[in-house]
């Protein structure tokens, strides 16, 4: 009934229960080949916690039912070899697909009995409660800003004062003035159940009572948000981009492609500078490992300049390609924008001037070849469609709210510097070009949603298929045998949908 992806079995040996816990859904993005314990150990090491400082852990979460779940918060209880609750991790997810792990080491404990006696489970008697407080830096609700703090009071499930282990966690959200704003409690409402000991009838009753809970979590959130906004008239705070301590949403297919091109473009820039520079590039979470790129002169010069580029949101890649100039993209997405708008964080930005961000410029037009008519047309169409990215949620401080303020780029608009690199150095430039065309069309005509462009494409293909077939079938019924030859062009019209696909593929 309940299954856990431990990562110890091969893909063909794994069987999923009605309720399933997938290791890749927790902690850092990726790590599909790691068990839950492996991912936990990896995360703790990244936070400076050695393997000797903990022994085992328990995860309290909502399991997937038929492949779906939404976990606003999951709790990790981390114990020492002496069965002491030494740490907890609160893994918080918002409705935008972003995540933040808060590692808590406990600020104080309420001690009931610290004797050397053991309880019936063999665990040493210990503190009843685990408490901690920390600063909030993650956007969870549109009705609360990113300011404020949390406090947690959690009962150790293995401190069985009443003889039965139970869960009781109390979280308080406080404003920046330390006024309580929200109290949330997660607690057991009955004795624990062991799935391995349930009869078939008991298992069916459990599924009947709980199958719907995870499915309605998100609709419940939407319902309460509707009440707060329309009935209570609460102030709405737009979603800020995650800070480096958080984890951005999953990347789209387009953003995954563009990350590959950006990584190669960055390598190209570093390899074409004669200055000693070391660039550490960290892609958006789930898109690969951190890579250190050295210029040729930096390999011999240990005192070279160091530049750290940390992409915190996959939106960086889909926004980066909207800009004509690389320096402008980095300015708008990282250096000179409100902190809540940053999609990337750059340390030592002075080192950027060592890279040829806006040159060498290719000013000659693309050579025309009849065999590459579609390719040339695609690049020219991309050039015409390029437009600024969607406005950030928070206006720049320099702009303020003055309607008289206007910013206009008066530089000549040709191909973007990244375009020029791709068209002359990448064998898969077609993928890049098609990603950009979809992004630009979506920004201009689809409110920024590429799904609108996909829907339009589907409608066109359906209309071509159904429309041509209807016209052809009615004409064939009206024609005699001697006129059948005149129907040949219309029969060829059945391939209109293939012609549409051919045009899209050629651009």
For residue 495, what are the domain limits? 451-506
Q: What is the pLDDT of residue 116?
A: 44
Given a contact cutoff of 8 angstroms between Cβ atoms, the answer to whether 3 and 23 are in contact is no
- Identify whether residues 220 and 369 lie together within a single domain: no
Pair 201, 349 in one domain = no
Tens digit of pLDDT per residue, the chain (507 long)? 777 776 544 444 456 778 888 888 899 987 777 888 889 999 999 999 999 999 999 999 998 888 888 889 999 999 999 989 999 999 999 989 999 999 999 875 444 443 344 544 444 455 678 999 999 999 999 999 899 999 999 999 887 655 677 899 999 999 988 899 999 999 998 888 888 888 889 889 888 888 888 888 889 999 999 999 999 899 899 999 999 999 999 999 999 999 999 999 999 999 999 889 999 999 999 999 999 999 888 776 666 789 999 999 999 999 999 999 999 999 999 999 999 999 999 999 999 999 988 764 444 455 545 446 667 888 889 989 999 999 888 876 555 555 555 666 666 677 899 999 998 899 999 999 999 999 999 999 998 999 999 999 888 888 877 776 676 666 656 655 555 555 566 555 666 666 667 666 656
Do 112 and 169 lie in one domain? The reply is yes
Domain stop point among 198, 231, 264: 231
Pair (142, 166) in one structural domain: yes
- The verdict on residue 481 lying in a domain is yes
Tell me, yes or no, whether 47 lies in a domain: yes
Q: What is the pLDDT of residue 498?
A: 62
- 63 and 165 belong to one structural domain: yes
How far is Cα 340 from Cα 395, in angstroms, rounded to an integer? 10
> What are the backbone dihedrals phi and psi of residue 85, each rounded to the nearest 5 degrees, phi first?
-75, 100
* Concatenated DSSP letters of 111-178: -S---S-B-TTSPBP--SEEEEEEE--S---TTS-S-SEEEEEEE-TT--TTSS---EEEEEEE-TT-
The CA distance from 217 to 72, in Å, is 9
One domain for residues 462 and 442: no
Residues 355 and 486 in one domain: no
- pLDDT given for residue 210 in this prediction: 86
Given a contact cutoff of 8 angstroms between Cβ atoms, the answer to whether 5 and 67 are in contact is no
Assigned domain for 226 exists = yes
Say which residue the tokens 């939407």 belong to.
Answer: 222
Q: Which two tokens stand for residue 431?
A: 């993928």
- Does residue 262 lie in a domain region? yes
User: What is the number of other CB atoms lying within 10 angstroms of the CB of residue 440?
Assistant: 20
Q: How many domains does the chain have?
A: 3
The residue from 176, 198, 231 where one domain ends is 231
Residues 431 and 502 in one domain: no
With respect to residue 432, please indicate whether it lies within any of the assigned structural domains. Answer: yes
CA dist 436 and 378 (Å) reads 10
Map tokens 């053991």 to a residue.
118
Q: What is the pTM (predicted TM-score) of this model?
A: 0.83
Q: Which residues contact 467 (CB under 8 A, 6 or more apart)?
A: none
Establish if 237 belongs to a structural domain: no
Do 282 and 376 reside in the same domain of the chain?
yes
Question: Can you give the length of the chain in residues?
Answer: 507
Per-residue b or e along 411-421, where b marks 16 or more CB atoms closer than 10 Å to that residue's CB: eeeebbbbbbb
In a domain, 478, yes or no: yes
CA distance 416 to 201: 65
Asked whether residue 245 is domain-assigned, the answer is no
Query: Are residues 260 and 345 located together in one domain of the fold?
Result: yes
Q: Are residues 482 and 427 in the same domain?
A: no
Per-residue tokens: 501: 């696909």
DSSP state for residue 483 in the 8-state scheme = G
Question: Which one of 183, 198, 231 terminates a domain?
Answer: 231
The residue to which tokens 């995650």 are assigned: 242
Same domain, 416 and 483: no
Any idea what DSSP says for residue 290? -
Helix (H, G, I), strand (E, B) or coil at 466: helix
Distance CA 389, CA 319 (A): 6
């Amino acid at each position: 009934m309940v299954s856990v992806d431990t990562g110890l079995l091969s893909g063909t040996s794994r069987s999923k229960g009605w309720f399933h816990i997938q290791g890749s859904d927790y902690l850092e993005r990726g790590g599909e080949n790691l068990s839950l314990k492996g991912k936990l150990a990896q995360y703790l090491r990244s936070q400076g916690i050695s393997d000797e400082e903990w022994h085992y852990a328990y995860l309290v979460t909502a399991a997937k039912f038929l492949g779906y779940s939404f976990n606003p918060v999951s709790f990790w209880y981390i114990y020492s070899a002496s069965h002491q609750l030494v740490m907890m991790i609160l893994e918080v997810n918002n409705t935008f697909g972003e995540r933040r792990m808060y590692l808590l080491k406990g600020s104080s404990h309420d001690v009931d009995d610290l004797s050397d006696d053991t309880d019936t489970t063999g665990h040493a008697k210990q503190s009843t409660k685990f408490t901690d407080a920390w600063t909030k830096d993650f956007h969870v609700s549109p009705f609360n800003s990113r300011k404020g703090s949390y406090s947690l009071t959690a009962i150790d499930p293995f401190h069985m004062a009443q003889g039965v282990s139970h869960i009781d966690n109390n979280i308080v959200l406080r404003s920046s003035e330390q006024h309580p704003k929200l109290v949330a409690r997660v607690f057991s409402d009955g004795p624990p159940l062991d799935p391995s000991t349930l009869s078939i009838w008991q298992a069916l009753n459990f599924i009947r009572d709980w199958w719907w809970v995870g499915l309605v979590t998100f609709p419940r959130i939407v319902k309460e948000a509707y009440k707060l906004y329309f009935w209570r008239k609460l102030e709405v705070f737009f979603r800020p981009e995650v800070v480096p301590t958080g984890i951005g949403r999953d990347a789209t297919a387009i953003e995954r492609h563009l990350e590959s091109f950006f990584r190669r473009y960055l390598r190209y820039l570093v390899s074409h500078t004669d200055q000693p520079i070391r660039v550490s590039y960290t892609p958006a979470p789930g898109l690969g490992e951190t890579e250190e790129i050295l210029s040729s002169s930096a390999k011999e010069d240990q005192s070279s300049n160091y530049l750290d580029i940390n992409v915190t949101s996959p939106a960086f890649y889909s926004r980066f390609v909207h800009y004509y100039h690389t320096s402008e993209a980095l300015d708008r997405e990282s250096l000179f924008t409100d902190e809540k708008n940053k999609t990337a964080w750059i340390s030592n930005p002075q080192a950027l001037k060592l890279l040829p961000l806006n040159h060498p410029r290719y000013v000659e037009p693309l050579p025309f070849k009849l065999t590459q008519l579609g390719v040339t047309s695609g690049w020219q169409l991309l050039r015409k469609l390029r437009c600024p990215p969607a406005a950030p949620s928070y206006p720049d401080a320099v702009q303020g709210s003055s309607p008289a303020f206007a910013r206009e780029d008066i530089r000549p608009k040709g191909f973007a510097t990244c375009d020029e690199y791709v068209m002359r150095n990448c064998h898969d430039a077609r993928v890049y070009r098609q990603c950009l065309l979809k992004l630009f069309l979506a920004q201009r005509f689809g409110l920024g949603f590429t799904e609108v462009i996909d829907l339009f494409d589907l409608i066109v293909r359906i209309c071509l298929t159904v429309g041509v077939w209807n016209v052809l079938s009615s004409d064939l019924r009206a024609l005699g045998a001697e006129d059948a030859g005149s129907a040949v062009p219309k029969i060829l019209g059945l391939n209109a949908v293939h012609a549409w696909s051919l045009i899209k593929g050629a651009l």
